[in-house]
Amino acid sequence: MSREALDTVADAVGECRRCALGSTRDKLVFGSGDPDARLMLIGEAPGRSEDRVGRPFVGAAGKLLDELLASIGLDRADVYIANVLKCRPPGNRDPRPEEIEACAPFLQGQVDAVDPAIVVTLGNFATRFMLGTREPIGRLRGRIIEAPGRRVFPVFHPAAVLYSRQKRDVLFDDFERLRVELGILASARRG
């Protein structure tokens, strides 16, 4: 079911030209992973490597994301990963409001199709998307926040911690908390 629903969203995206990024991107990065995942992760936008390959988180931040997932006993095949924007902003600048707006129905469609138990938002843009708040990630990170119909778990974006040992430790600690939350949800489901 989820796979068909995701395919419908991918068909709707098509060779998107709804915003200016459609003419500067190389590859559109739709998303990847298990359509039935209990955990969905949302990043910001493709970077240079993702734009070349067409898959999310394949560069340095992706390597760290793999380590974070491994630290809680998961890998890419167990989760579903998408971004707020499907196309790379030139020079890796921040996503613009009109780009986020043009892409929003597709990310929302992906979240609805996968229907995960927890959505991990990586950084400010994904957190803002899911929670509609301007509250900075530093204040929201590391705990479940209940949004209408969704459990959201904001954390620092992996790219934002690459050069800070202290923030990197915080991100690993938050993933440990995430592991506990997933365990709690799994045992509630069983019993």
Contact footprint for ligand URA (CB under 6 A)? 43-47, 50, 56-57, 61, 83, 159
Distance of closest approach, residue 49 Cβ to ligand URA, in angstroms: 7
- Closer residue to ligand URA, CB minimum distance, 33 or 47: 47
- Closer residue to ligand URA, CB minimum distance, 38 or 55: 55
- Give the residue among 150, 140, 146 at the shortest CA–CA distance from 174: 140
Distance of closest approach, residue 172 Cβ to ligand URA, in angstroms: 18
Sheet with 118-122, strands from edge to edge, namely 32-33, 80-83, 39-43, 118-122, 150-155, 145-147
Distance of closest approach, residue 179 Cβ to ligand URA, in angstroms: 22
- Closer residue to ligand URA, CB minimum distance, 49 or 185: 49
d(CA 179, CA 152): 14
Alpha-helical regions (H) of the chain: 2-13, 48-53, 60-71, 97-114, 124-131, 137-140, 158-161, 165-190
d(CA 191, CA 182): 14
- Closer residue to ligand URA, CB minimum distance, 104 or 180: 104
Distance of closest approach, residue 19 Cβ to ligand URA, in angstroms: 17
- Closer residue to ligand URA, CB minimum distance, 52 or 185: 52
d(CA 23, CA 55): 18
Distance of closest approach, residue 188 Cβ to ligand URA, in angstroms: 31
Residue whose structure tokens are 């990065």: 29
Nearest residue to ligand URA on Cβ basis? 43
